[in-house]
């Protein structure tokens, strides 16, 4: 297996595993504590700052996952890793981004906030599984 590609993939994935658990257990639940009159501004700030932190690792993870698939299509673990990337990618675009958009537009909405936390679990699980797959690939 391509060592540099695999290491880059693992580092980006593990970085995002840390980020997603922080988001799931601390950041999203803490949105409840934001004053309603500051909520929209805080959501916009969160979106901007988080985007700056995660865009590069997400792109590295995506790119290196696809490259591993191109160079090692025989590896079931590489395929499974790409399934995980697809899961967090689709969940991000189709579920989480619309929830964030709704919170920015509508303000502190308890149901939307609960859904943001609840429906982030598939991303958290997908990233965590991909981290485990990366560890298994490195072990091999």
Q: What is the pLDDT of residue 2?
A: 76
Q: What is the pLDDT of residue 114?
A: 93
Asked whether residue 1 carries a pLDDT value surpassing 70, the answer given is no
Domain ranges of the chain: 3-139
Question: Count of residues for the chain?
Answer: 140
- Dmax of the chain from CA atoms? 54
Q: What is the pLDDT of residue 108?
A: 86
Q: How confident is the model at residue 140 (pLDDT cuts 50, 70, 90)?
A: confident
């Amino acid at each position: 297996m391509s060592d540099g590609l695999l290491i880059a993939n693992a580092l980006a994935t593990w970085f995002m595993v840390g980020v997603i658990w922080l988001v799931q257990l601390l950041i999203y639940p803490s949105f409840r504590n934001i004053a309603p009159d500051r909520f929209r501004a805080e959501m916009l700030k969160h979106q901007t700052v988080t985007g700056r932190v995660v865009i590069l690792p997400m792109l590295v993870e995506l790119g290196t996952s696809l490259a591993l698939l191109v160079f090692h299509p025989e590896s079931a673990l590489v395929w499974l890793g790409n399934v995980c990337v697809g899961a967090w990618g689709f969940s991000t675009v189709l579920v989480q981004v619309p929830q964030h958009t709704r919170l920015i537009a509508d303000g502190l909405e308890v149901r939307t906030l609960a859904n943001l936390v609840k429906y982030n679990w598939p991303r958290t699980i997908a990233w965590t599984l991909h981290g485990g797959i990366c560890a298994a690939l490195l072990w091999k």
